[in-house]
Amino acid sequence: MTTAHTANTAKKSAKTSKNKVSKYSKRKVDPAFYWMTIPAVILVSIFLYWPFLQGAAYSFTNSQGYGDFKFIGLKNYIAMFQDSRVGHAYLFTIVIAILITIGTNFLGMFLAVLLNSKIAFKNGFRAIFFIPYTLSVLVIGYVFKYIFMTPLPAIGQALHIDWLSTSMISNPDLAWFPIVFLSIWQGVAYSTLLYLAGLQTIDNEIYEAAAIDGVNAWQNFWQITFPLIGPFFTINMVLSLKNSLGAFDQIMALTKGGPDSKTETVSYLIFQNGLGNGEYSYQMANAVTFFIVLAILAFVQLKFFSGKEKV
């Protein structure tokens, strides 16, 4: 009897486990919810996965985006790895992405802690800091282009500052700065919002207990605040790096890849040469490679920060 009862119980649990969210959850999911995802899956497949597969297929041909083409194997990939212009685009993209990610998260966390403190007009400041995120990157990019090309050089000439006396956008050594500055200025709003959401989850009683123990503001942040918003820090870092690596609008508005192709990002290079200069299949190979690089970086980033959170 005991054996039969155990077998029946196991069968019942096996049946019910199929509808569970996961093996760690006791909550059941109605199969209707899975059917409701089918329209979304179809749309994503048509507009995202199918174009990606088509592009990957074209990367093994000599297609110019129109007309006849033939299969050429890995020639596009081999040529791409020997192209110094592509190599520079990858290096420039990664460097500015790191700078933007660090700057966005540092300022975002600082502003979030500040706006979460007891200050007057707190909600008003939150709205003000979030306004840049709602504006078009291209529109703001053209505004910043004017600022960096006219008012700033005039100020530099008046103050006799040599490096500021000419436009940074036309300087091959400084053209990266307006791009990074614009990206941080606009991206910090979303980063601040996420950090604010994380700070709202921390119980004030923890800070009150720490105050009784004589913990100062610096220790308060590193020993309480930062560890407790660890998941939000991970999300912000991953999203910031992903968005920064795909920088395109900033380049289009500010520099258009110049001067002398010094500020070409991978996304801009794929667009400019793939659609404008007849390198369709060649840049498709570049796009597939870039997708693999992004996937690897995201995986490494998630593993690294997940490990830090566990520690």
- Residues 149-170 pLDDT 10s: 999 999 999 988 888 888 899 8
Amino acid at 261: S
Listing DSSP states for 59-77 in one string gives: TTB---SSS---B-TTHHH
Amino acid at 75: K
Higher-confidence residue: 174 or 2? 174
Q: What CA–CA distance (Å, rounded) separates 252 from 259?
A: 13
Torsional sign, CA 164, 166, 167, 173: negative
**pLDDT single digits (tens) 76-93:** 999 999 999 999 999 999
Residue 127 has pLDDT above 80, yes or no: no
Cβ-Cβ contacts under 8 Å for 284 (sequence gap 6 or more) = 55, 56, 58, 59, 76, 274
Give the mean pLDDT of 252-274. Answer: 91
Give the mean pLDDT of 242-251. Answer: 91
Q: Find tokens 């870092």 and name the residue.
A: 237
Give the mean pLDDT of 29-39. Answer: 85
Mean pLDDT score across all residues of the chain: 85
Q: What is the model's pLDDT at position 267?
A: 93
Instruction: Give residue 1's pLDDT band: very low, low, confident or very high (50, 70, 90).
Output: very low
Write down the pTM of the prediction. 0.82
